[in-house]
Amino acid sequence: MKILENKTISDVPGFKAVGIHSGVKKNGNNDLCVIYSEKPAVAAAVFTKNKVKAAPVLVSMEHIKSENIQAIVANSGNANACTGSKGFDNAVTMTNITAEALGLSAKEVMVASTGIIGFPMPIDKITSGIETACKQLSKIGGESAAKAIATTDTFTKKITVEITIEDKPIYISGIAKGSGMIHPNMGTMLSFITTNINISKSLLQFVLKSSIENTYNMVSVDGDTSTNDTVIVMANGQAENTFLYAMNGHYMQFKEALDFVNKELAKMIAKDGEGATKLIETDVIHAKTIADAKLCAKSVIGSSLVKSALFGSDANWGRILCAIGYADGNFMPEKVDISFKNDVGIIQVAKNGMGIPFDEPLAKSILEQEYVNILIDLKDGEHSATAWGCDLSYDYVKINGDYRS
């Protein structure tokens, strides 16, 4: 597997994309994007588990049933959530206008939105924006599309990898939007992935679903789960590999690459959590079951006390042990070892559930880095899990305490 540094979703053969400013965002930033496959494609998608689902989620949940999906239209600045039947109509209109401009049926278009909840969509701006965007679709538009789904994101999240199946290059490329409200079961998170693999719709859905369990669903920024989360993968088959419909070796190769793409995007989302100053990775190892490992890892990454301590570069391992203690996962408190590590070094701070003397200046210098790994060894089995999150800073409060931020 190769990572292609300067490529993005529109570089995948057969795909075009574009991001423009339609007028929803007041600061003039891109706020609308279209991703388009020139030829019929299959798609798979996963949506928020929040009972309050935004209008575009409800519409896309219907459209994903179509055998062919050829376009995604997405906007930022307004989430079109809690907007009633008018909101639903507006989401349908977004797919209608896109379909008309691209010569598709509306059911072949997926729609997604992110931004403020509970305000009517400025649908006139959006519809004329879609018409403009569809005319500007290009092979170099992926970067502008990535910018168009950002809200409080501080950097563009994208990754592209290449694998080879039957001597044919297969590309998998994704863009994502993260920031606040990211939690297991997907916070306000959009992720759009294009690939040229030739795969069945049902296998694509299966591999996506299993992939998000260990990637996006292991990320927490603030414990909230949004109304709008959507991950979509479009596969246009242009690589012309032998049609992939079973879990053979080629499937495993594709799965590994898709997992990598999703994991990298998930880590970027965690790192760019609202107000975050560092990426926190929690590895729980030697758990009795995978479920135990996951529950413990997520609990640590979700603890406001742990997150505040890490903001202050404070080796407060007691809060970490406390956080796994109130998780639903099983473990034996008197067996737990805890270490912090990254490029600077590794330092063990707790052994068998108790503190041990450690080099405090070294701990501080490890914790002051932009990436910190918390290694929790439960010494109770053979399973492990990883979760990603960020610290809790003054800026998180500032960003989220502003009216209509």
Question: Does 51 help bind a second copy (rule: CB under 8 A)?
Answer: yes
Phi, psi of 133 (to 5 degrees): -60, -45
Smallest distance from a second copy to CB 230, Å: 15
3-state secondary structure of 337: strand
**132 has binding-site annotation:** no
- The only residue of 131, 318, 348, 369 in contact with a second copy, by rule CB under 8 A: 318
Residue tagged active-site, from 95, 127, 188, 227: 188
Question: Does 359 help bind a second copy (rule: CB under 8 A)?
Answer: no
Task: State the first-to-last Cα distance of the chain, in angstroms, to the nearest integer.
Answer: 40
**131 has binding-site annotation:** no
Dihedral sign computed on CA atoms, order 94, 95, 99, 105: negative
Q: How far is CA 397 from CA 25, 58, 295, 298, 333, in A?
A: 22, 31, 26, 21, 33
Question: Does 324 help bind a second copy (rule: CB under 8 A)?
Answer: yes
Question: Does 354 help bind a second copy (rule: CB under 8 A)?
Answer: yes
Question: Does 312 help bind a second copy (rule: CB under 8 A)?
Answer: yes
Give one word for 89, left, alpha or beta, with left for phi > 0 and alpha for psi -120 to 50.
alpha
Smallest distance from a second copy to CB 44, Å: 23
Which two three-digit tokens encode residue 34? 């279209």
Span of 63-71, 195-203, 286-294, 350-358 interacting with a second copy by CB under 8 A: 350-358
Smallest distance from a second copy to CB 76, Å: 15
**277 has binding-site annotation:** no
C-alpha to C-alpha distance for 102 and 105, rounded to whole angstroms: 9
Site string for a second copy, 100-129 (x = CB under 8 A): ----------------xxxx----------
**240 has binding-site annotation:** no
Span of 33-41, 59-67, 231-239, 331-339 interacting with a second copy by CB under 8 A: 331-339
C-alpha to C-alpha distance for 142 and 119, rounded to whole angstroms: 28
Site string for a second copy, 216-235 (x = CB under 8 A): ------xxxxxx--------
For a second copy, give the closer residue by CB, 93 or 194. Answer: 93
Span of 44-52, 89-97, 134-142, 153-161 interacting with a second copy by CB under 8 A: 44-52
For 249, residues 6+ apart whose C-beta sits below 8 A from its C-beta are: none
Which two three-digit tokens encode residue 155? 């950097």
Q: Quick one: DSSP state of residue 77?
A: E
**405 has binding-site annotation:** yes
C-alpha to C-alpha distance for 155 and 152, rounded to whole angstroms: 9
- Contact status, residue 403 vs residue 277, Cβ threshold 8 Å: no
Give one word for 82, left, alpha or beta, with left for phi > 0 and alpha for psi -120 to 50.
left
Q: How far is CA 166 from CA 14, 131, 172, 185, in A?
A: 19, 39, 16, 35
**288 has binding-site annotation:** no
Question: Does 17 help bind a second copy (rule: CB under 8 A)?
Answer: no
Smallest distance from a second copy to CB 324, Å: 7
Question: Does 353 help bind a second copy (rule: CB under 8 A)?
Answer: yes
- The only residue of 4, 61, 290, 322 in contact with a second copy, by rule CB under 8 A: 322
For a second copy, give the closer residue by CB, 192 or 331. Answer: 331
Q: Is 188 annotated in the active site?
A: yes
Return the residues of window 364-403 that contact a second copy according to CB under 8 A. Answer: 392-394, 396-403
Q: Which residue has the tokens 């990254």?
A: 342
What would you report as the CA-atom Rg of the chain, rounded to the nearest whole angstrom? 22
3-state secondary structure of 401: helix
Which two three-digit tokens encode residue 390? 């960020």
> Taking CA 22 as the corner, what is the angle to CA 261 and CA 187, rounded to the nearest 5 degrees?
40
Site string for a second copy, 267-296 (x = CB under 8 A): ------------------------------
Residue ranges at the known binding site for substrate: 151, 177, 188, 274, 400, 405
What are the residues binding a second copy (CB under 8 A)?
A: 49-53, 79, 81-84, 116-119, 180-181, 183, 185, 222-227, 302-305, 308-309, 311-314, 316-319, 321-326, 331, 333-334, 350, 352-355, 392-394, 396-404
As annotated, the active-site residues are 188
